[in-house]
Structure 1
Amino acid sequence: MLRRVATVQVVATGTLIFLIIGGAGVGVLALALLGGEILHFGHPDVDGPVSVEAVAGFLGAFGFGAAIVNELLGGGTPGMIAAAVGGGTLAAVPTAWLAGRLSRAARDMRTDATPTRDDLVGALGLVVTPIPAGGYGEVRVRVAGQPVKLNARADRPIPLGAQIFVVQTLSETSVHVETY
């Protein structure tokens, strides 16, 4: 007579604690990336010696790394749990350093200046709605590589599809053009 025996794999208490620490690290990282101002302590213009992202990376890598080592060793004794802590620390230190470097690089990334209406002068484009004498039509120009559709005036009528260049900006959304 054969009996079926159900086996239940029990997770060691140390592994469970390490997994909770890793999950907390992932949670802190998600909060730091999605809403960095929520976890910012002190004056907003002053960075501390350790960023929230680095702490989150350390906690996540430490928790998950230690859980893996603990399960591989069968962490039932204090010595094996100490070895799991060492393995978690070995995974966490470079991860925290990398997270700090990447978050600092993203935060301090240089960007181009925002285009202003003065950047429109000299832009080349096409008439997309004919420009009547004394009235407004529409033109499409490229500013900083992006197509922009603007209201346009001209000294004389300009037909649909004509090539133009901007000679003056009248407002943020309208320009004075001439044929090219």
Structure 2
Amino acid sequence: MLHDVDTVQVVATGTFIFLIIGGAGVAVLALSLLGTELFHFGHADVDGPVSVEAVAGFLGAFGFGAAIVNELLGGRTAGTVAVAAAGGALAAVPTAWLAARLSRAARNMRTDPTPTRDDLVGAIGLVVTPVPAAGYGEVRVRVAGQPVKLNARADHPIPVGAQIFVVQALSETSVHVETY
């Protein structure tokens, strides 16, 4: 006759320690990739020979890899824990290399320059709020491929829907326009 027996899965101490190491590595990696610059002391551009992302990636992969190997081996002895640590290190080296490469690529990614008020001159757009002769209306133009709504002045009144040309940028948010 079968009896109801509660089974409790016991996690080896080595596995638990490896999981803590892996979790700490992933937490530091997430913080460093999100740009908190948690471990930057001194000048922000000084990263040293090994980046924080590489160390965090190494620790995360080492901890989780070693925990997996330790559980697969049933690591209850010092020898099996040592083999698990070696397995974790084997997983950690390529992960650290990849984390360093990806974080360096993200930091050094080329981007377009931020548009300035000088980029507004020459833009073509539409009037969305009538532009009176002695006041401001609103126009919508495209700057660097993005639609931008700006306050607009003109020498003569311009009705809604008229196509305009930006002659001068009065500020970052207002322009002088003419009909196109």
Instruction: Provide TM-score, normalisation by structure 2.
Output: 0.94
Percent of paired sites with the same residue: 85
Report 1:1-180 matches (<5 A).
Answer: 2-180=2-180
Distance 1:156 1:9, change over 3 A: same
Shift of 1:138: 0.7
Q: Deviations over 1:84-139 (max 9, x none)?
A: 11110111001101111111111111111111111000001000011112221110
Structure 2 unaligned residues grouped into runs of 5+: none
Counterpart amino acid of residue 95 in structure 1:
T
Shift of 1:33: 2.7
Q: Secondary structure at the match of 1:161?
A: coil
Aligned residues: 180
Q: Deviations over 1:62-88 (max 9, x none)?
A: 000000011111112222212111110
Counterpart amino acid of residue 102 in structure 2:
L
- Aligned partners of 2:40 and 2:47 also within 8 Å: no
Instruction: Provide TM-score, normalisation by structure 1.
Output: 0.94
Matched residues in 2 for 1:2 and 1:139: separation? 81
- Aligned partners of 2:152 and 2:177 also within 8 Å: yes
Counterpart amino acid of residue 88 in structure 1:
G
Matched residues in 1 for 2:170 and 2:110: separation? 31
Shift of 1:57: 0.6
Matched residues in 2 for 1:111 and 1:2: separation? 68
TM-align CA RMSD: 1.4
